[in-house]
Amino acid sequence: MEATQLDAVFTALSDRTRRDIVARLSAGEATVTELAERYAMSMQAVSQHLRVLERSGLISRGRHRQTRPCRLEPAALEVAGSWIEQSRRTWSERMDRLETHLAHLQEDR
């Protein structure tokens, strides 16, 4: 995943409502109407959140007769999770090296 796509995923997930929508879609597809039922906001506002999620690659919308069900696209979450895990490992290694260095400084005293 390129940097701009990763930025879009993290931007999309920075909003509580969008994180909630992602969590809801992890249980299965839902229409915009079904998703909007949970929120005290207009359908237009929910649709805007969905557009942000769709542009980030976190969700997709299909067509089924008169509805456009939304579905989670887990690949975008997996790539973001991999990036987070790699960053965690990098910082963990750095902290381990710092701890070792500090221990050596204490021994030299």
Q: Domains (ranges, CATH) in the chain? A: 3-108 (1.10.10.10)
- Percent composition of the chain: helix, strand, coil (DSSP 3-state, to 5): 70, 10, 25
State yes or no: pLDDT of 80 exceeds 60: yes
Q: What's residue 1's pLDDT?
A: 54
Residues 35-76: pLDDT tens digits?
999 998 998 999 999 999 999 999 999 887 777 899 999 999
Q: CA dihedral defined by 89, 93, 96, 97, rounded to 10 degrees? A: -170
- Element at 73 (helix H, strand E): none
Supply the mean pLDDT for the chain: 91
Q: Do 66 and 81 contact (CB within 8 A), yes or no?
A: no
Q: Do 60 and 73 contact (CB within 8 A), yes or no?
A: yes
- State the pTM of this model: 0.79
